[in-house]
DNA sequence: CATGAATGAGTCTTCATTCAT
DNA sequence: AATGAATGAAGACTCATTCAT
């Protein structure tokens, strides 16, 4: 009986459902027509909802975009976090899991990469990003640094510091994402993953491959 | 005395000067107010010129943006190219020069990074970029691959292939640029440069530090 | 007292009503300030509606103008058509009705003549006219030719052919319209009508006066 | 040797030459791109002259258009006037000459008809026309009425009055011009001429064919 | 909760006119 | 007498936001 969670869009639906629909339509619109083409008309048409709903469920368009960014950041964090609890994972396994998450299809696809870089490209959203989502980035960096420290200790590596490695990793993550977005024919998720693993095997040869 | 070449703006000026002024004002506007805030009104006000001049010196606003992108790409290329001719440079020196250019203040500053990522962020301009400027990127990659091949041969390295190294370098370049733009307090040109050199000393230990 | 059909303008109104209002305001604007003065600002002000409504109810200004032309052509056709069905009318009566319609106040007034000639005067609209409205003209000519054939047969006239007469009539219609528009003090609907009837009594003396 | 009247455009030329060039370019521009496309840029490019010249030789664009209209009206008048002096012409010959002039290729061609109706179509120019050129029209009508009176007296016609005939003729002139402009494939100068002559043979059978 | 017509500020673009050369 | 870069008002069009239903 309970069709509360039905995806079938009823004439009325709980606020949460509508918000999710709108956020999804926003991402699709941005990826298809760019940030400038992501008008409320385009977004609501994509969602199959009425124009007025955005300002009803969100305070403004800017709020919708901010929520979209937040959604993306949290979805990403959920992905790499879920493997960290596993007791049977070594630090290297966990680092590997984070790298995997970075290029997981759920996160690393044209639809979502378009949105990320649309936000990065607009100064106003960079600021918004820093204030709402950067702590997630920092959290991941902290975790990675911790893992690298363990790995370095285990392997007794004399190379770059844990901080150095992590900053290089972060740089690689973003840069490879951009390459995948710009040249989808030349750069693939798989290739990018290989690139990062190749780097890790260079710094931590005893742990990676 | 002779102020024929004075920068003092006369009522009329050669087309080239006006175009340069407008391109510069475009970059400043984008970096200050984002791509969406870079209206012709804002740009011409920034340049201290009248509104109608853009459509006089460029066919349209889109043309102005395309030219801005082209200017940026060419300025960048000129920078890394100028060191490649020097006969007294070893391949490692030349590679080093390219890395230096990537983080040279003339190229790697907030004003210009903002513009790069503004273009990357908008699907329409990504396409425009691919059709007008990507050959410059590819050219640089070719050159880097060649240099890496020489270095690998010289050092008899058994690590990643020249192609692999270069793709990682390209990824690092873009990712570090983004980090500098996003977190200017945490990431500096100098630090980024160190990051890349650190990577190079890992893959080519006999050549770099 | 039910004011459901009241002309009092509610905040929202059916699309058809708005379209009609805008078309009407377009005709008034053209007749008052010429086609070049018929700006969207002028039109919407005339209609007492907001500027953005034109692009909401019509795709563009050009579409509005095309619809205006179409409206005019159809209104005109409806006028001369309505008398053609009457069984008690002779061919001469019907031809007379068509002539009457041509100079009927609903069609032949400064407001609408201004619009007709505004369209005729601009090459682009002449083309638009040919593709959308000329079939109405041709239809009328066909009907007139048929009627003239009947009249010629009835009266056994040896003068110009039905086609000739109709082409002369069409020429007279347009020319008299233009004269009424240009010299409203010298040329009136009534006079024009007399002119045409005078011509008809010359070619078909047994049928007209 | 005297090349004062040379059509070769020297760097400087007498004002009269330049004015004629600009008027001609105006007519060509209007006929090619419509009145709205007849910008000063288009006109001066068509004339092969510099943009600033219009406001130099004419007070304003409006003045140029008014002069163009005047030129057209005077050229037309010169055409029908030149036959009126001939002592060997009967009134019917003279009337015939006026009709011929109306459809003479120098006057009745797409380039010039486009201009006439462009002016008729714009209220502002209708007014300008009335104040500068209508006396030419009226003059022609006077002449025609006089001729018709003579013809009626000669033939002892009992049909429409001279005034009536002339008004019908004027209507036919304008209407046939419009038809030629609108449907160049269906209506030709020759056909139009035949139409008018056919009308004249109806009212003045003893004089025309 | 939901709708979508209406609003009008803001954008790009065009173009007659000016003016230093 | 001639040039054409520069100006800025005015145009069509877009779109986030509002609000009566």
Give the model confidence (pLDDT) of B21-80 as tens digits: 999 999 999 999 999 999 999 999 999 999 999 999 999 999 999 999 999 999 999 999
Domain residue ranges of chain D, discontinuous segments joined by + = 1-59, 61-209
State the SS3 of C59-97.
CCHHHHHHHHHHHHHHHHHHHHHCCCCCCCCCHHHHHHH
Determine the distance between B5 (CA) and F10 (C1') in angstroms. Answer: 37
Q: Which of B92, B90, B89 is closest to B203 using CA atoms?
A: B92
Locate A41 and state its tokens: 């008309």
Q: Is C178 within 8 Å of chain D by CB?
A: yes
The pLDDT value given to residue C83? 84
Rg of the Cα atoms in chain D: 20
pLDDT bin (cut points 50, 70, 90) of residue A11 is low
CA distance C34 to D67: 20
Q: Other C-beta atoms within 10 Å of B138: how many?
A: 12
Q: Is the CB of C34 under 7 A from strand F?
A: no
Once rounded to an integer, what is the mean pLDDT over residues A128-149?
89
Cross-chain residue pair C173–D175, CB shorter than 8 Å: yes
State the SS3 of chain B.
CCCCCCCCCCCCCCHHHHHHHHHHHHHHHHHHHHHHHCCHHHHHHHHCCCCCHHHHHCCCHHHHHHHHHHHHHHHHHHHHHCCCCCCCCCHHHHHHHHHHHHCCCCCCCHHHHHHHHHHHHCHHHHHHHHHHCHHHHHHHHHHHHHHHHHHHHHHCCCCCCHHHHHHHHHHHHHHHHHHHHHCCCCCCHHHHHHHHHHHHHHHCCCCCC
Q: Across chain A, what does the average pLDDT equal?
A: 91
Determine the distance between C37 (CA) and E17 (C1') in angstroms. Answer: 19
Nearest chain D CA: its distance from C25 CA (Å)? 16
> Which of A29, A37, A118, A122 is most worth mutating to test chain B (most B CB atoms within 10 A of its CB)?
A122
* A5-9, A151-155, B61-65, C141-145: the lowest-pLDDT one: A5-9
Q: Which helix (H) or strand (E) holds A200?
A: helix A189-203
Tens-place pLDDT, residues D126-147: 888 887 778 888 899 999 999 9
Residues 39-98 of A with CB under 8 A from B: none
Cross-chain residue pair D179–C164, CB shorter than 8 Å: no
| pLDDT(C107) > 50 | yes
Q: Is the CB of C136 under 7 A from strand E?
A: no
* B129-138, B150-159, C68-77: the lowest-pLDDT one: B129-138
As a whole-number percent, the residues of chain C with pLDDT over 70 amount to: 95
Tens-place pLDDT, residues C108-142: 999 999 999 999 999 888 888 888 888 898 899 99
CA distance C23 to D93: 49
Q: Across chain C, what does the average pLDDT equal?
A: 92
The pLDDT value given to residue D2? 39
Q: Is B166 within 8 Å of chain A by CB?
A: no
Q: Is C179 within 8 Å of chain D by CB?
A: yes
Where does residue D177 rank: exposed (0-12), middle (13-18), buried (19+ CB within 10 A)? buried
Once rounded to an integer, what is the mean pLDDT over residues A28-34?
96
Q: Residue A30 to residues B123, B124, D92: CA-CA distances in angstroms?
A: 8, 11, 78
- B186/B40: higher pLDDT: B40
> Which residues in window 39-58 of C are less than 7 A from strand E by Cβ?
49-53, 56-57
Tens-place pLDDT, residues A59-115: 999 999 999 999 999 999 999 998 898 999 999 999 999 999 999 999 999 999 999
Query: Which residues in chain D have their CB less than 8 angstroms from residue C114's CB?
Result: 123
Entry field: residues in chain A: 209
Q: Which of chain F's bases lie under 7 Å from a protein CB?
A: 1-21
pLDDT bin (cut points 50, 70, 90) of residue A38 is very high
CA distance D184 to C133: 16
CATH class of the domain at D61-209: mainly alpha
Q: Across chain B, what does the average pLDDT equal?
A: 91
Determine the distance between A125 (CA) and F19 (C1') in angstroms. Answer: 30
- A23/D17: higher pLDDT: A23
Considering only CB atoms, D179 lies closest to which of C121, C174, C191, namely C174
DSSP string, D46-97: HHT--TTHHHHHSSSHHHHHHHHHHHHHHHHHHHHHTTTT-TT--HHHHHHH
The pLDDT value given to residue A174? 96
Q: Is the CB of D198 under 7 A from strand E?
A: no
Nearest chain D CA: its distance from C17 CA (Å)? 28
| pLDDT(C10) > 90 | no
Which residues of chain D fall short of a pLDDT of 50? 1-9
| pLDDT(B3) > 50 | no
The pLDDT value given to residue B2? 36
Q: What angle do CA C110, C113, C119 make, to 5 degrees?
A: 140
The pLDDT value given to residue C2? 37
Where does residue D146 rank: exposed (0-12), middle (13-18), buried (19+ CB within 10 A)? middle
Task: Kindly give, in sequence order, each residue whose CB lies less than 8 Å from that of residue A158, ignoring residues fewer than 6 positions away.
Answer: none
Q: What is the CATH number of domain B1-59?
A: 1.10.10
């Amino acid at each position: 009986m309970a069709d509360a969670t039905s995806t079938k869009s009823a004439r009325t639906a709980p606020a949460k459902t509508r918000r999710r629909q709108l956020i999804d339509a926003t991402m699709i619109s941005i990826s298809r027509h760019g940030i400038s083409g992501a008008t409320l008309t385009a977004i609501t048409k994509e969602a199959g909802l009425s124009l007025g709903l955005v300002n009803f469920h969100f305070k403004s368009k800017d709020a919708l975009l901010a929520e979209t960014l937040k959604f993306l950041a949290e979805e990403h964090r959920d992905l790499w976090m879920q493997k960290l609890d596993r007791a049977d994972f070594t630090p290297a396994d966990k680092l590997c899991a984070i790298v995997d998450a970075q290029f997981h299809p759920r996160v690393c696809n044209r639809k979502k990469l378009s949105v990320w870089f649309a936000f990065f490209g607009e100064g106003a959203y960079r600021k918004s990003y820093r204030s709402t989502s950067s702590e997630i980035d920092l959290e991941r960096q902290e975790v990675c640094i911790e893992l690298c420290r363990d790995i370095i200790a285990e392997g007794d590596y004399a190379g770059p510091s844990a901080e150095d490695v992590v900053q290089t990793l972060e740089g690689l993550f973003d840069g490879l994402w951009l390459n995948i977005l710009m040249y989808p024919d030349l750069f693939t998720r798989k290739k990018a993953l290989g690139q990062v693993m190749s780097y890790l095997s260079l710094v931590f040869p005893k742990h990676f491959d």
